[in-house]
């Protein structure tokens, strides 16, 4: 989604007059039409009274559009994060089924016959029960995530409709302004240069980069780089360098979820971060990186490890916020 400035739209003579493009296109003016109050033109007093009303209404609608667009963006990120968690949980559940059930599973009867004693049987039976509880918990978590996704989808649908209704309302208000100005024959040429300003208000709510890529990148940055902006940008640079390299997967998801590459993936901390939502700073750095920003000190790096691990293995590179960045794996002196 595009980021919009927090300043209010220029309403007086700007947003209000965005709607009167047709007036200038047709070159309507009092001298050209020769109209006056006796020929049915709207009086100057009533014209500006109504324009003042529309001025306030357009201002309120424009603010509402920006507010709802922000809420819609947040809803999209939350939904994308929930879906990433669901995919991870579903993948784990499938692997679990293959390992336990398609491979023969573990039954209480089998445990009984393989037990050397009653004590052994009871210990093994407790293990079987723990497996069943683990599976039940996995399924419960998956069902809970699915319900969470359905709720977030409902919120996003409602916000999308609300934003669409607000944009329709703003267009209708602007069209009324155009009609009033055109029928009045008033000369407003001094506002011509401002006519096309702030047109991107109608693009509020559109996304340039997928919500899934943004929130996943932000979450892994937060997990791997802690709380410093510089550290997060350095990690983002490595991840996006990999995406651009033929040696690695060509998507953010492919890079992040590659086998044995990022510890937070298999430790569970990535899913935990996705559930609660990445920090504001992590989202900011992720968006900037996806827009092209890179950390110059690691612009050619494809790997990083913790400072302690680097010292233990004799690896050297650029140290940023506790991580050592390298162009090649196991780079040493």
Give 36's contacts (C-beta < 8 A, 6+ positions apart): none
Give 130's contacts (C-beta < 8 A, 6+ positions apart): none
CB hemisphere CA count around 50 (13 angstroms): 15
Q: What is the C-alpha to C-alpha distance for residues 280 and 229, in angstroms, rounded to an integer?
A: 11
**Each residue's pLDDT tens digit, 291-319:** 999 999 999 999 999 999 999 888 989 99
User: Looking at residue 8, what is its pLDDT?
Assistant: 41
Please give the DSSP secondary-structure letter assigned to residue 111.
H
Cα distances from 51 to residues 10, 29, 105, 201, in angstroms, run: 15, 18, 75, 20
The mean pLDDT value of the chain amounts to: 75
**Each residue's pLDDT tens digit, 25-63:** 334 334 333 444 444 444 666 766 776 777 778 778 878
Q: What is the C-alpha to C-alpha distance for residues 228 and 215, in angstroms, rounded to an integer?
A: 17
- Model confidence band, residue 96 (pLDDT cutoffs 50, 70, 90): low
Q: What is the C-alpha to C-alpha distance for residues 73 and 321, in angstroms, rounded to an integer?
A: 30
For residues 143 and 262, the model is more confident at 262
User: Looking at residue 201, what is its pLDDT?
Assistant: 63
Mean pLDDT of 208-221: 89
Give 266's contacts (C-beta < 8 A, 6+ positions apart): 260
Structure tokens at 65: 């559009």
User: Looking at residue 129, what is its pLDDT?
Assistant: 61
H/E segment holding residue 326: strand 323-326
Greatest extent of the chain over all pairs of C-alpha atoms, in Å: 111
Mean pLDDT of 9-19: 42
What single string gives the DSSP state of each residue in 177-195?
HHHHHHHHT---GGGGGGT
At residue 19, does pLDDT exceed 50? no
For residues 279 and 2, the model is more confident at 279
Domain extents for the chain? 11-174+192-203, 211-326
User: Looking at residue 104, what is its pLDDT?
Assistant: 57
At residue 322, does pLDDT exceed 70? yes
Q: What is the C-alpha to C-alpha distance for residues 237 and 223, in angstroms, rounded to an integer?
A: 15
- What is the reported pTM? 0.63
28, 32, 34, 37 alpha-carbon torsion, rounded to 10°: 20
User: Looking at residue 206, what is its pLDDT?
Assistant: 64
The region of weakest confidence among 84-88, 105-109, 125-129, 217-221 is: 105-109
The region of weakest confidence among 11-20, 39-48, 152-161, 167-176 is: 11-20
- Model confidence band, residue 286 (pLDDT cutoffs 50, 70, 90): very high
Q: Is the distance from CB of 100 to CB of 131 less than 8 angstroms?
A: yes
**CATH fold of 211-326:** Arc Repressor Mutant, subunit A (1.10.10)
Among 37, 58, 50, 20, smallest CA distance to 184 is for 37
Among 153, 201, 149, smallest CA distance to 173 is for 201
CATH class given for the domain over 11-174+192-203: mainly alpha
**Each residue's pLDDT tens digit, 64-92:** 888 888 888 888 888 889 889 888 877 77
């Amino acid at each position: 989604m595009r980021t919009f400035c927090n300043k209010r739209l220029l309403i007086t003579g700007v947003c209000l007059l965005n709607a009167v493009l047709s007036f200038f296109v047709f070159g309507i003016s009092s001298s050209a039409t020769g109209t006056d109050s006796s020929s049915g033109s709207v009086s100057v007093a009533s014209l500006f009274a109504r324009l003042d009303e529309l001025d306030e209404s357009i201002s309120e609608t424009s603010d509402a559009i920006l507010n709802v667009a922000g809420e819609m963006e947040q809803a999209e990120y939350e939904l994308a994060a929930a879906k990433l968690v669901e995919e991870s949980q579903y993948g784990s559940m499938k692997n679990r089924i293959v390992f336990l059930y398609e491979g023969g599973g573990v039954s209480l009867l089998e445990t009984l016959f393989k037990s050397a004693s009653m004590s052994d049987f009871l210990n093994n039976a407790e293990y079987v029960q723990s497996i069943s509880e683990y599976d039940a918990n996995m399924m419960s978590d998956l069902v809970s995530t699915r319900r969470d996704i359905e709720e977030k989808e409902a919120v996003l649908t409602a916000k999308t409709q609300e934003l669409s209704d607000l944009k329709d309302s703003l267009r209708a208000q602007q069209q009324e302004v155009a009609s009033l100005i055109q029928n009045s024959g008033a000369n407003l040429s001094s506002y011509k240069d401002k006519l096309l300003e702030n047109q991107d208000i109608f693009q509020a709510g559109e996304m340039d980069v997928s919500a899934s890529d943004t929130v996943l990148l932000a979450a892994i940055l937060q997990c791997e780089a802690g709380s410093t902006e510089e550290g997060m940008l350095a990690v983002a640079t490595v991840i996006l360098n990999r995406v651009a390299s033929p040696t690695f997967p060509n998507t953010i998801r492919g890079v992040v979820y590659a086998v044995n590459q990022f510890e937070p993936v298999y430790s569970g901390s990535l899913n935990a971060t996705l559930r609660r939502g990445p920090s504001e700073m992590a989202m900011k750095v992720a968006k900037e990186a996806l827009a092209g920003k890179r950390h110059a000190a690691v612009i050619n790096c494809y790997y990083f490890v913790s400072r302690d691990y680097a010292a233990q293995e004799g690896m050297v590179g650029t140290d940023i916020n506790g991580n050592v960045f390298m162009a090649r794996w196991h780079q040493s002196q």
